[in-house]
Homo-oligomer: A and B are copies of this chain.
């Protein structure tokens, strides 16, 4: 950010610009983001945009940062509850968090994540992976007997990316998909839990009943 917005008014301006950028991304896609359009939706002039952001890239970086922040908050909010749950329940819980996260803000996060390679999402993803690895370690400590003892760096990476991109792809599928969100969560949590508790008997597949299937 070009200038530190110490004053409250500036803070609001920055916020409204990021918010406007988010709306454009969510509604029209990343391609449609132009500095003028963002400024318009924020109700200010382009000049003001450049007062606070060195360039378009910086604006998008801020948007991405906000996304990272929200993701972290979402995970942290769920963490205490999940640490106490059994492996599969924990995974399931995380998946629900992820689904909720993607559902927020009209698919903004979906669109951003789809463009992870263009935006500076890589660093954020990496940090998130590290964070999740840490969480997994903590979880392992709390469930010493049930779990494999030493989560490898690769494991967090795999789990994170498998989950995130599989969900991303699922949400990008033309509706109706060939399988429900329920089924996806089922299979995915089964797979992830299986990685963490190798030998253990995994809960049997849920019965697919119309009432429990969503989406």
Contact = CB atoms under 8 A, between A and B. Distances in A.
A170 B165 CA distance: 13
Given A114-B117, A191-B195, A170 B157 contact: yes
B170 A166 contact: no
A161 interface: yes
B158 A184 contact: yes
Instruction: For chain A, give the interface size range.
Output: 35 or more
Contact of A178 (B153, B178, B198): B153
A124 interface: no
A35 interface: no
Contacts of A202: 198-199
Interface string A26-38: 0000010000000
A212 interface: no
Given A194-B194, A201-B199, A202-B198, A169 B179 contact: no
A19 interface: no
A158 B169 CA distance: 9
Given A172-B117, A195-B191, A198-B194, A179 B166 contact: no
A79 interface: no
Interface string A78-115: 00000000000000000000000000000000000011
Given A114-B117, A198-B194, A166 B155 contact: no
Contact of A169 (B161, B188, B199): B161
A149 to B, nearest CB: 11
A71 to B, nearest CB: 16
Interface of A: 31, 114-115, 117-118, 122, 125, 152-155, 157-158, 161-162, 164-166, 169-170, 172-173, 178-179, 183-184, 186-188, 190-192, 194-195, 198-199, 201-202
Closest A-B pairs by Cβ, 6 of them: A162-B162, A165-B165, A194-B194, A154-B179, A161-B166, A154-B183
26 contacts: A31-B118, A114-B117, A117-B172, A125-B169, A152-B183, A152-B187, A153-B178, A153-B183, A154-B187, A157-B169, A157-B170, A158-B166, A158-B187, A158-B188, A158-B191, A161-B162, A162-B162, A162-B166, A162-B191, A165-B169, A187-B195, A190-B198, A191-B192, A194-B194, A194-B195, A198-B201
